[in-house]
Each structure stands twice: as C-alpha cells, then as structure tokens.
Amino acid sequence: MKEGKFITLGIETSCDETSVALVADGREVLSNVISSQIEVHKVFGGVVPEIASRHHLNNMSSVYKSAMETAGVSLRDVDLIGVTCGPGLVGALLIGLATAKAFAYAAKKPLVGVHHIQGHICANYIEHKELEPPFLALVVSGGHTHLVYVKDYNEHVVLGRTRDDAAGEAFDKVARVLELGYPGGPKIDQAAKEGDPHSVEFKRVMLEKDSLDFSFSGIKTGVLNYLNSQKQKGEEIYVPDVAASFQMAVVDVLVAKAMMAAARTGEDKLVLAGGVAANSLLRTMLAEACEKAGIALYCPSPLLCTDNAAMIGCAAHYKYAAGLTDDMTLDAYPSLVL
C-alpha cells in the first residue's frame, strides 16, 4: 500500500517510551505504536535508566511488528529510517539506534538521526497540516524547557532555556512531595481541578529583566517550605489547593516568557510542544494570551505531546529532504544541543 508515497520509519527510545511509527510524506501517520513503561517505573517514583534500557530491548521487536502491521507496509516499502540520537538516557537511546542502524544496513535504507526536541516541535506538522516555518516554539517536557525560533524546518535559534529543572521535572518533583504519584504532570493537572489556584502565592521566578531563560528548581523548595510551615502551625493542608497554586505559578511564567518572545521577535505564530503541552491550564492560558495578542496558537493532541515515534519520523523526513543524512557512525548523544 505504498501508492507512490515517501515512507519514513521512525524510532524513539530516549526515555521510558518504546515507540515505532510509519509516516507517509512527512505528515501522514500510518501507525504510531507507543509502549509506555510508566507502570514499571512508578514504584521507583521516576525513570530508572538501566531498567528503561532493558525494557526497550524487550519491547522493541513487538512494537516494530505492530507498527508495520498497522500501517500495512513491509521493510521493502520503507524509504527512510529516522531515529532519536539525543538528548536522553544513553542506554535507552542506544537501543533505538542499534535497531535503526541494523534495519538501515540490512535493507540498504538511508538513516537520519533526530534531535528529540526537533521531534517534539514536528508533532505540530502532523497535527496542523498547513503549518509552515517560521514560527516560535515553546517546548516543555520532562527533560527540556526551551523557547525556540524555528526559522526553517532544520534551522533553530534557541531564545531561552531552563537554567536548572525542566517544567515537567518540577511537576514530577512536586507531585512526589504531595504524594500524588508518577508521572506528576497529569496527576497535578487532575488534582488542580478541585483546588483554588490563588490559595498559595508561590514565587514566579522571572530571572533578569528581558531574560527568556527559565528557572524551576526553586519552586519545589517553595512547596516544601509551605507544607512544613503549615504542619508547624498545625494547619490543615488541602492538596488540590497546593497543586492548583503550584501549577498556576509555573504556567504564569511559561505564558509570560512565551509572550515576551513573541513581542521581541514579532512572530505571530506560536507552537506548543512536549509532554507538558498536554497540561490543561497551560493550553487554556496560552490560548487566552495568544488571542489577546493576535497570535495563532498551535498545539498537538495529547498523544502527540508526549514521546512518540511519529514526530521523529516527521523530523527525519524534513532533514532528509534537506539532504541531511547520517551513516553507520551515528552515535547516542545524551546531552545533544539543538
């Protein structure tokens, strides 16, 4: 069922999702199979790298088979293989890379290594078929918080990034403190629906005037200090209020910085990406701010926000179209910069 389309096989294993996808002509998803290890890591309260690698190895062949079957293609139909090569957990990345290189070598297919953040941004090309660069992107995930000016498909200018914790990391750490479970983002999002976001005033860290960088490491301490002081005073702690107030503080900063970046660049298109892009308050508040400022906002559907291989296949397609390919020396780069 190739029908003259250019088919990319995408592979993603940078953290705790084993995912294989088939994407036609860059933006049409034929299959996007995701095997999440959340249940395995939940008991540890976070991702254990060694366990993640082992599970990627165990899951890869069934995820691959399922993706090929769902798409109704064989390896012969595949025109390109794209794989996340960084940043991420090195052992986890290596499983995806070894798989991609083996297929590329055996079936004589071109190979493209993809930066994970570029993949997250590309999720929006799948969701919004009309979207073209240039635009501004706010990438918020468990490992990254970046404001990026996307000049072209493969041209990125980083305007700001977190200096310490990523936004998703802050959600996960605060959820642990509040004993809400793992992963923290969705749990806080849910708990916050029952709480008052103005009940506790957590500090909004904006850094230097005009800075587009972020800092989220202090907010966990802020939440801990609040909990301790309430306990010392013998006052009751209502978890949904704390969750809602924390979430509001993080979202306030993200929205303010995104709007600052839009004003500075004069861009009238903003793309949201990464796992935290699934956050309901962030989506609502960003939509309101964008409407006020006359900016068109693009968000992926929740499934395309978190780690998946379709976004990697899409990114690989556009890299290949620009003549950017890799060879068998492609390696895993845990701290790869955009």
Query: Are residues 23 and 319 in contact, defined by beta-carbon separation less than 8 angstroms?
Result: no
Q: Is 240 in the site for ligand KG4 (CB under 6 A)?
A: no
CB of 164 to ligand KG4, least distance (A): 15
Phi, psi of 177 (to 5 degrees): -60, -40
186 binds ligand KG4 (CB under 6 A): yes
State the nearest-atom distance from the C-beta of 110 to ligand KG4, in Å: 25
Region of 41 (left: φ > 0; alpha: ψ -120 to 50; beta: rest) is alpha
What are the CA-CA distances from residue 51 to residues 12, 77, 86, 293, 333 (Å)? 16, 33, 18, 46, 19
Are 148 and 115 within 8 A, CB to CB? no
Residue 307 or residue 326: which is nearer to ligand KG4 going by CB?
Answer: 307
Single residue of 53, 59, 99, 141 touching Zn ion by CB under 5 A? 141
- b or e along 279-311 (b: 16 or more beta carbons within 10 Å of the residue's beta carbon)? bebbbebbeebbeeeebebbbbeeebbbbbbbb
Least separation in angstroms between CB 61 and ligand KG4: 22
Identify the sign of the CA torsion 273, 84, 100, 325. positive
Give the residue with the Cβ less far from Zn ion, 89 or 205: 89
Q: Closest approach of Cβ 195 to Zn ion, in Å? A: 27
Q: Which residues pair with 29 in a beta bridge?
A: 23
- Select the residue interacting with ligand KG4 from 274, 285, 312, 319 (CB under 6 A): 274
Residue 306 engages ligand KG4 in binding (rule: CB under 6 A): yes
Query: By CB under 6 A, which span of 99-107, 123-131, 179-187, 218-226 interacts with ligand KG4?
Result: 179-187
- Residue 185 interacts with ligand KG4 (CB under 6 A): yes or no: yes
Residues that bind ligand KG4 in the complex, under the rule CB under 6 A: 15, 141-143, 168, 171-172, 183-186, 189, 274-276, 278-279, 306-307
